[in-house]
Structure 1
Amino acid sequence: MTFQPEKLGQSKAVLASSLRELRKRVGLSQVRLAQRCNMSQTTLSNIETGRVGPSLVDVELILRVLKASPAEVAEVMSLARLAHTEWQSKRASWRTGLEKRQAELAGLESEATVLRYFLPAMVTGLLATPEYVKASLSGSPGDKSLTAARKLERQAVLYDTTKSFSFLLTEQAVRWPVLHRAAMAVQIDRLASLSHLPNVRIGLLPIALTEVRGPMNTFTVYDQRLTTVETFTGRLVFQDSRDVAAHLSIFEAYEQVALFGEDARCLLAEWASAFRS
């Protein structure tokens, strides 16, 4: 099934309908199917009406009990994966106000305990200086002052020691000249300073690393329950455990070769000095 963002909102209803029609075609009642799947009839009813989104494991079990054909399994599992994926258009964020997006991010950060950020292109707002935050919003429409203020307010979460933060930044992300040279040096100094926080790990991926795959999308993993992936035109939100696990695996692979601690701070000092020279 080809990914089409506009169909994500429809996938839950289509999934529910498909499962219901498959059951009826086989001639099983909800009660009988629920018994064979070891779930309550109420749960199955909620799945078939779209009130509850089933996990991929639930969908696989239902399809196996219903003896669905390989083509039916492929189609319904594609629907199930889409049902666990949300598309948030950047244009929609602009219409509703970028500060609303900051409130959503603050909510995700407040609920999570372990947060991982993979940053191949730019420094995230949590680690940014006020000048960098302002510059990063230059391409956004409307009044950006409130959004910038909200971004800076969110940085307070870094000092909550009940949470742990891991940031992986490529050399490009750190050195991309978003600001004039002196301000870029200050931004890099901030990264070094924040790396001293006991609950914050900042890892660097220098360009010289050749033994790993080339980095692609910016993504964030909140605990082990949700992943957001950034694109030019919006963001994808994955809630399926397999998608989250895949992004955790990618993060861990880069984490194994990243530079941390004093090694990272020495490299940051070198990059900052280059901007000052």
Structure 2
Amino acid sequence: MTFEPEELGRSRADLADTLKALRKRAGVTQTRLAQRCNMSQTKISNIETANLTPSLVDVELILRALDAPPDLVSRVVALTRSANTEWQDVWSQRRTGLEKKQNELAGFEKSSTDFRYFLLSMVTGLLATPEYVRASLAHVPGDHGKAIAKKLERQSVLYDTSKRFTFILTEQAARWPFLPASAMAMQLDRLASISRLPNVRFGVIHLAGHLPVCPLNTFTVYDTRIATVETSTGAMVFRHHRDVSAYVNEFRGYEELALFGDEARECLTLWASQYRS
């Protein structure tokens, strides 16, 4: 399926209108449909007003309860996948304020317990020193003091032991000279320190030997509900189980290639010493 960015925002409303029309055509009330689907009437109402994006399972239950014809089912399922995919371009984020994006990420972190980060080319904000955070926004015009403060504030989630984090960095992400040498050494020291947290699993993919896969993007998976994929001009947010599962499986492949524990820290310590020398 091909997603056009301008269509992704409309698909949620289209899906809500379609499901509402199907229910009314079948002569079924929200309360009755909720009973048939083992959902609350409030959830049905939120789906029909586009306040809640339903999962594919939700939609299949509704379509079955309404006895929708097979040709219509296939079209609504395709619309559901589109509704569960969101494009966030960088220019819109800059217009609305970068701190808004930080608040969204904080929301993902608050509602999730199991996190998978694959970092291809840079250190993510949760792992970054203040110098690295400031440098990551230096190319964007304007005053980003609030966004920087929010990025640093979000780091406290790492110390919530009810949550589990797995970070996998390529050697390039860890070693790319994004800061002056002394600051890069401090950034690598921070990575080594975070790797010792009891709820953090930290891996490094050493660029040596045979690597049978070639990653294309940095991505994050929140539980098995949401996957966010970064590009140069924005980010895709996936909620469809097929898309999220694909990134979970890709992450597992990188886990097999990564060094963890003391082996990862040995790499980080060596690279930090090289910067200091």
User: TM-score, normalization: structure 2?
Assistant: 0.84
Matches of 2:184 and 2:39 in 1, distance apart?
Answer: 58
What letter is aligned with 1:145?
A: G
Between 142-151 and 43-52, the greater mean CA deviation after superposition: 43-52
The CA RMSD measured in Å over matched residues stands at 2.9
Mark the CA change 1:161 to 1:44 in structure 2 (over 3 Å): closer, same or farther: closer
What letter is aligned with 1:89?
A: D
Mark the CA change 1:275 to 1:241 in structure 2 (over 3 Å): closer, same or farther: same
Q: 1:28 deviation in Å?
A: 5.0
The equivalent of 2:269 in structure 1 is 269
The aligned runs of 1:11-22 (5 Å cut-off) are 11-18=11-18
What letter is aligned with 2:69?
A: K
Matches of 1:41 and 1:162 in 2, distance apart?
Answer: 29
- The secondary structure found in structure 1 opposite 2:196 is coil
The aligned runs of 1:1-277 (5 Å cut-off) are 1-18=1-18, 29-30=27-28, 50=50, 53-60=53-60, 65-69=67-71, 74-208=74-208, 210-277=210-277
Instruction: Please tell me whether the aligned partners of residues 37 and 61 of structure 2 are also in contact (alpha carbons under 8 angstroms).
Output: no
Q: 1:67 deviation in Å?
A: 3.5
- The secondary structure found in structure 2 opposite 1:79 is helix
Instruction: Please tell me whether the aligned partners of residues 178 and 184 of structure 1 are also in contact (alpha carbons under 8 angstroms).
Output: yes
Matches of 2:104 and 2:18 in 1, distance apart?
Answer: 32
Mark the CA change 1:209 to 1:251 in structure 2 (over 3 Å): closer, same or farther: farther
What letter is aligned with 2:238?
A: F
Mark the CA change 1:210 to 1:18 in structure 2 (over 3 Å): closer, same or farther: farther
- The secondary structure found in structure 1 opposite 2:215 is coil
Mark the CA change 1:164 to 1:80 in structure 2 (over 3 Å): closer, same or farther: same
Matches of 2:93 and 2:60 in 1, distance apart?
Answer: 35
Matches of 1:191 and 1:52 in 2, distance apart?
Answer: 37
Q: 1:192 deviation in Å?
A: 0.9
Mark the CA change 1:211 to 1:178 in structure 2 (over 3 Å): closer, same or farther: closer
Matches of 1:89 and 1:7 in 2, distance apart?
Answer: 14
- The secondary structure found in structure 1 opposite 2:118 is strand
Mark the CA change 1:57 to 1:105 in structure 2 (over 3 Å): closer, same or farther: closer
- The secondary structure found in structure 1 opposite 2:135 is helix
Matches of 1:40 and 1:269 in 2, distance apart?
Answer: 53
Q: 1:163 deviation in Å?
A: 1.6
Mark the CA change 1:12 to 1:141 in structure 2 (over 3 Å): closer, same or farther: same
- Per-residue CA deviation, residues 155-206 of structure 1 (Å, 9 max, x unaligned), is 1221222221111101111111101122212211211111111111110012
What letter is aligned with 1:134?
A: R
Mark the CA change 1:80 to 1:135 in structure 2 (over 3 Å): closer, same or farther: same
What letter is aligned with 1:163?
A: K
Identity within the alignment, %: 56
- Per-residue CA deviation, residues 17-68 of structure 1 (Å, 9 max, x unaligned), is 44567789xx85447x959x75679677875665654321344466674332
Instruction: Please tell me whether the aligned partners of residues 23 and 66 of structure 1 are also in contact (alpha carbons under 8 angstroms).
Output: no
Matches of 1:23 and 1:142 in 2, distance apart?
Answer: 49
Mark the CA change 1:38 to 1:196 in structure 2 (over 3 Å): closer, same or farther: closer
Gaps of 5+ in 2: none
Matches of 1:245 and 1:172 in 2, distance apart?
Answer: 26
- The secondary structure found in structure 2 opposite 1:122 is coil
User: TM-score, normalization: structure 1?
Assistant: 0.84
May I ask how many residue pairs the two structures share in their alignment?
A: 272
Q: 1:145 deviation in Å?
A: 2.6
- Per-residue CA deviation, residues 194-253 of structure 1 (Å, 9 max, x unaligned), is 111111111001222534421122111222222222122222222223322222221122
Matches of 2:53 and 2:111 in 1, distance apart?
Answer: 21
Gaps of 5+ in 1: none
Matches of 2:33 and 2:161 in 1, distance apart?
Answer: 45
Q: 1:15 deviation in Å?
A: 2.7
